[in-house]
Structure 1
């Protein structure tokens, strides 16, 4: 049938019953490419409405908004006392001043994370190399007080020349221990006794190798050569393809290979600046104010690690830390343990498999094991085990029903169903459960449930001509 361009609600309802297969296809296609952003959804079983649980994770975001930064040595920032700098290209051009007591001339660490696009550019700057041959070394530590998963390249933008020697390190235990992520040098053999290599030379077997690259260590400031990268996406592409079109393959690898998952997981990052740009093989000892570090921007993209038990992570300003808003009866900053009274089986991380919605591995109430609902369907989603039928937080019995041992709802007279959501047919009166001929059923699975489900099904029909 042909639908009018502008549909009334009544016309849409009739159209839904005829065009359900089209709507389902339109719903399922985006879901197949989702990034595990839904933790649970309504499903319909032979007994009625209940919940279906899925693995879920927060959206990726800019993580530099939530970090704290520390420098070692702590007094390495320029400006106290005030200092004048020369340019690397011209040792006689010395008109750059740093003075911590003047806002316009100060370069504190927080300027590495402020909004870029201003003119002039804002940046952090170190003291100059005043005590040669002692090396000018600086450690910049970025801490989140939370486990995060990296989802994009780490990018450092230098306002001075890029360092001739640098090391990027990571910690998984809040800075107690550190492991190398990548070495950077103009000469990897000389600096770190390592053969130079690029990320493009890595394979699936060698993805976890720690390499030294010479690609980002030129001494002079070139117009398009200010950045230093740690390439996350190029490593993802080894499994997901060059345009990351096959994320299912990557998720499958992350699910089954813990070392791979841990490789992209951090609580802290440390940038070790070991030797500033010199632009030459010899250092000009008579003009050491040419040598320093300056960073205008640091980009870190990622998401909170919630062990696939949460799709939301919030920043507590009072505590100054991130925390997952846990689902699946889990708790903790990373949803890393079961809630009280939900230790019916050992806690487990959620699973990306089976693609595309994964397995929630929810915590079970201590009084019983998982309840299996046969023939459960959620617009074509495969059957899953259900943790429990009802509780006092998420799965409330409807229409005056009461939850009994998390296993069933005791329904009030006149109602039935898993959650007491359906009206009983009265023997002596009319049955409101079934529609009369020619009328759409008000209990059809596609018309029952939260408004969001109804709207999500109806919206595509408004913009198409044929049902």
Structure 2
């Protein structure tokens, strides 16, 4: 008996492990941004792509109801049941806590008895449409990681649109249309998410799956299916995440599809449960939502593993020498390479694409992309891209403790503006003393005699150096 019980327990454990292998977290872990490793030169940082953990994002949103007086209770109102127009024992009164149904009850802890919910006024102004906009705003870019789920306490709407914004609500695009009759409501053929393919994943569809009028026991929810869309690349059990990650890395429109700053739920027609509205019992028709679920994470461009909520705002705690609410730019003095979003690939660590501390090696080049306090700028090209020549004064460049000093091919004079080339050294801390075979203010030219040169040119553009010489001399005289 004991042996049989152990075998049965082993089977349960194996089955659970097998199930977990086939149902990984939708976006992987990527929870570490960097770690220290030993190299031949000693301790060094190993940087990895990283992102915050997916959480319930409704904890951090602000909700707006439009029109603002559409919430029930002022004045108090009595409602009838949709399925029974003669059962009218539901009261809404904003002045009484037990009878009030404010918007925040869409986001409170579910499981209470009786159920808490937001509720609109009834359709007492029929035939004027009963329409409500519920806007959820985060004031921060977030990435959706699971289905958006709305749970209705009343009948599910017969017509509804879910919309998204990527620019703090300035512009809106549809996510999905919902109707009992898509062709009649939106002149769209009905579809389901199961009919989508990789090529049509970004199509906006109208579905009739979530618009039944009456409240059945298991038919209170309306979904926007995120995981079913993930599955088009990652497989039905999301086991091939590398495929999804590859698509997200290379296709901006796909990344943007799952990225939002705001959601808007446009309730266009309440459940009626029939083809005709009963004008003698308009208190049967209203909207009521008991719960909204939005699972996601702060978008940090794979440069942070923590997102904090401070003073009513979400923000990434940026790593990889990046900064900004979404870690979308390099920190000051870290423009040695252009900013880039991190990459999920190769799995499991990804590619951090860190911003690197710069070290300018050109004549009087300061900041490699940092244009702060530049008086006169002349764009040049160096290995890190377009940089600026500064003719004003600055202090010496500081080396960051996380970075090893660069091996310099030229000597630097004490004023940090003049770099002698081709082995030249600073003379009296302000002029270059050139080695044999070279001449010029910066030892930039090979010394020539009889049409032949003793040394090789430094590769600088002679016309550019000729233009820069007066500015350098003026700077040295000051």
- TM-score normalised to structure 1 length: 0.72
Match of 2:254 in 1: 260
Deviation (angstroms), 1:391: 2.8
Q: Deviations over 1:292-323 (max 9, x none)?
A: 0000000000000000100110100x2x0100
Decide which of 199, 210, 220 is 1:205's aligned counterpart. 199
Decide which of 348, 351, 354 is 1:359's aligned counterpart. 351
CA distance in 1, matches of 2:344, 2:63: 33
Deviation (angstroms), 1:270: 0.1
Verify: 1:338 aligned to 2:330, yes or no: yes
Verify: 1:122 aligned to 2:130, yes or no: no
Q: Is the 8 A contact 1:344 1:365 kept in 2?
A: yes
CA change 1:35–1:336 in 2 (3 A) is same
Deviation (angstroms), 1:366: 2.4
Match of 2:141 in 1: 147
CA distance in 2, matches of 1:208, 1:117: 35
Verify: 1:188 aligned to 2:197, yes or no: no
CA change 1:207–1:407 in 2 (3 A) is farther
Q: Which runs of 5+ in 1 are unaligned?
A: 1-29, 370-389, 396-402, 409-467
CA distance in 2, matches of 1:176, 1:94: 41
Deviation (angstroms), 1:359: 1.1
Match of 1:5 in 2: none
* Stretch of structure 1 that moved more, 253-262 or 355-364: 355-364
CA change 1:274–1:348 in 2 (3 A) is same
Verify: 1:167 aligned to 2:161, yes or no: yes
CA distance in 1, matches of 2:338, 2:295: 32
Q: Within 5 Å, which residues of 2 pair with 1:47-446? A: 47-316=41-310, 318=311, 320-367=312-359, 391-392=400-401, 395=402, 405=405
* Stretch of structure 1 that moved more, 103-112 or 40-49: 40-49
CA distance in 2, matches of 1:231, 1:198: 10
CA change 1:325–1:73 in 2 (3 A) is same
Q: Is the 8 A contact 2:212 2:271 kept in 1?
A: yes
Deviation (angstroms), 1:243: 1.1
CA distance in 2, matches of 1:192, 1:311: 42
Q: Is the 8 A contact 1:391 1:406 kept in 2?
A: no
Q: Deviations over 1:391-420 (max 9, x none)?
A: 34xx3xxxxxxx774779xxxxxxxxxxxx
SS in 2 for 1:50: strand
What is the number of residues matched between the two proteins?
A: 347
Task: Show structure 1 runs of 4+ deviating over 3 A.
Answer: 403-408
SS in 1 for 2:174: strand
Determine which structure has greater relative contact order: mean sequence separation of CA pairs < 8 Å that are 6+ residues apart, divided by chain length: 1
CA distance in 2, matches of 1:183, 1:212: 4
Q: Is the 8 A contact 1:307 1:334 kept in 2?
A: yes
Q: Is the 8 A contact 1:162 1:221 kept in 2?
A: yes
Deviation (angstroms), 1:42: 1.5
Q: Deviations over 1:134-155 (max 9, x none)?
A: 0000000000000000000000
CA distance in 1, matches of 2:355, 2:227: 33
Deviation (angstroms), 1:247: 1.2
SS in 1 for 2:229: helix
SS in 2 for 1:162: coil
Q: Is the 8 A contact 1:248 1:356 kept in 2?
A: no
Q: Deviations over 1:105-124 (max 9, x none)?
A: 00000000000000000000
CA distance in 2, matches of 1:283, 1:225: 21
Q: Which runs of 5+ in 2 are unaligned?
A: 1-23, 362-398, 409-478
Pairwise CA RMSD: 1.8
Deviation (angstroms), 1:34: 4.7
CA change 1:183–1:34 in 2 (3 A) is closer
- TM-score normalised to structure 2 length: 0.71
CA distance in 2, matches of 1:340, 1:42: 24
Q: Deviations over 1:43-100 (max 9, x none)?
A: 2212222111111111100000000000000110000000000000111111100000
CA change 1:86–1:345 in 2 (3 A) is same
CA distance in 1, matches of 2:60, 2:360: 40
CA distance in 2, matches of 1:368, 1:72: 55
Q: Is the 8 A contact 1:162 1:228 kept in 2?
A: yes
CA change 1:98–1:34 in 2 (3 A) is closer
Match of 2:457 in 1: none
